[in-house]
């Protein structure tokens, strides 16, 4: 799949799924504007990908700051060209029982996972609508559709961003702009490994935790970040030209979706 010359803006590009998405688009000839609040790690990722022959430009930025994001989008379009694809991959996780969730925990998760998606999508969508085309893909989670113990803030943020993206797709359809969601399950990233405690490992996740009402993964393996990136690339490509407002679960069957 050749995306040569396309301009792709990816948030959360310093690690995990966002970094895999940046690699996937860069490997297909796209110009990738890589955005992340972690300046040092972002530049390391961009330098490594550029050394491998990809066209990656680092744009340090915090998706929580709406005014700064608008300026960043202006800069990306001046320096790289009109954004053809936006991938909202920035995300944070705070876990724990709801009754122990602090205001700071709640606000931190909502600020990045939901408000951040709004802050980036709004200026990009406005430009796409004016030009009459474009694609937006938001990375959510299967936790946005299946209750998870000790993940209420995260799950709520992902459910909300899923519906936001679908509503955006409805409004933008008349302009030829498609908006879709990819909902990963357990994926081998620093975020997942950060949830593991003593005795936890990939096999524990794969087998499930009955005491937490969590089924395992029917395919018997964790997702790799590249698995999620492949789904994003597909939804952004012309091969998905008649797909919009959809939520694609990439979780090895863990959500048991109807």
Give 63's pLDDT tier (boundaries 50, 70, 90): very high
Using the Cα atoms of residue 196, residue 201, residue 207 and residue 211 in order, give the sign of their dihedral.
negative
Q: What pLDDT, in 10s, does the model give residues 106-119?
A: 999 999 999 999 99
Query: Residue 42: inside a domain, yes or no?
Result: yes
Query: Residue 171: inside a domain, yes or no?
Result: yes
What CATH number does the domain containing 48 carry? 3.40.50.720
pTM score: 0.94
Full domain range(s) for residue 150: 7-249
Query: Residue 166: inside a domain, yes or no?
Result: yes
Query: Residue 255: inside a domain, yes or no?
Result: no
Work out the angle between the directed axes of helices 39-51 and 16-26 (0-180°, nearest 10). 30
- In the chain the beta strands, taken as DSSP E runs, fall at 7-11, 31-36, 55-60, 85-88, 134-139, 177-184, 247-250
Give 251's pLDDT tier (boundaries 50, 70, 90): very high
Q: Token pair for residue 125? A: 């969508």
Q: Among residues 59, 154, 213, 249, which one is catalytic?
A: 154
Query: Residue 22: inside a domain, yes or no?
Result: yes
Counting the structural domains of the chain, the total is 1
Distance CA 109, CA 223 (A): 23
Distances (CA, A) of 58 to 10, 13, 46, 150, 189: 10, 9, 6, 34, 21
Contact 209, 215 (CB under 8 A): no
249 is catalytic: no
Query: Residue 74: inside a domain, yes or no?
Result: yes
């Amino acid at each position: 799949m050749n995306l040569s010359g396309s301009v792709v803006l990816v948030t959360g590009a310093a690690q995990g799924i966002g970094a895999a998405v940046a690699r996937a688009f860069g490997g297909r000839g796209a110009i990738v504007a890589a955005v992340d609040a972690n300046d040092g790690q972002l530049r390391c990722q961009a330098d490594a990908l550029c050394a491998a022959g990809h066209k990656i430009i680092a744009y340090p930025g915090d998706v929580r700051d709406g005014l700064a994001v608008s300026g960043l989008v202006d800069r990306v379009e001046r320096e790289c060209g009109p954004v053809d694809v936006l991938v909202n991959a920035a995300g944070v996780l705070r876990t724990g029982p709801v009754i122990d969730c602090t205001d700071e925990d709640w606000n931190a998760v909502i600020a990045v996972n939901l408000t951040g998606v709004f802050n980036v999508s709004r200026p990009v969508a406005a430009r796409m609508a004016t030009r009459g085309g474009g694609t937006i893909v938001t990375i959510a989670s299967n936790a946005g559709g299946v209750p998870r113990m000790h993940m209420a803030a995260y799950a709520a943020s992902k459910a909300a961003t899923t519906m936001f993206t679908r509503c955006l797709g409805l409004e933008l359809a008349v302009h030829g702009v498609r908006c879709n969601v990819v909902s990963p399950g357990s994926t081998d990233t620093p975020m997942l490994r950060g949830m593991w405690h003593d005795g936890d490992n990939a096999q524990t996740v794969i087998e499930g935790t009955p005491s937490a009402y969590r089924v395992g993964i029917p395919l018997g393996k964790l997702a790799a970040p590249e698995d999620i990136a492949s789904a994003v690339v597909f939804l952004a490509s012309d091969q998905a030209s008649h797909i919009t407002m959809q939520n694609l679960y990439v979780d090895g069957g863990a959500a048991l979706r109807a």
